Structures are given as structure tokens and as C-alpha cells.
Amino acid sequence: MKIEILGTGCSKCKKTKEKIEKVLKQNGLEAEVIKIEDIEQIMNYGVMVTPAVVIDGEVKVAGKVPDEKDIQKWITQ
């Protein structure tokens, strides 16, 4: 599983990364977690507001920090 966190390094982006890592650890799962800060790469996903979460190439959320329940659902599908 490849999880990309799109954002320019704001506090919401950092919080999103922390939540994802926490949920992965709680579930005993491993994933490649990548932080993407390059505006061009972010826009290639069609994302205009950050933070955004992309899992295996699919944008799951953009413009807000996701709930841990949502992250749980995404990583266990």
C-alpha cells in the first residue's frame, strides 16, 4: 500500500501524517507513507486544497484532516 500525503508542510498536513501513522501502527499494518510538497505533483492529482490523502493512486480526501475512523476504513479495504 502506498499512501501519499499532499501538502506544503502546514500543521494540518503534519497532523494528517501523524494520524495515518498512528492508525497503521494500531492495526499492525505497514505502508509506504510519502509526503509530497511539490505544487506541480499535487496539482497532477487535481487537488486544489490541502491536506489531501492519496492511497494507491486514489484521492481519498482533500482540504481537511481526515478522521481516524475514515483512515481505518481506507486502509482496511
Say which of 10, 34, 39, 43 is annotated catalytic: 10
Contacts of 55 (CB under 8 A, 6+ apart): 1, 2, 3, 4, 74, 75
Say which of 13, 23, 36, 54 is annotated catalytic: 13
18 a catalytic residue: no
10 a catalytic residue: yes
The DSSP element (H or E) to which 11 belongs, if any, is helix 11-26
Spatial separation of the C-alpha atoms in residues 55 and 33, rounded to whole Å:
9
SS3 call for 63: coil
Active site residues: 10, 13
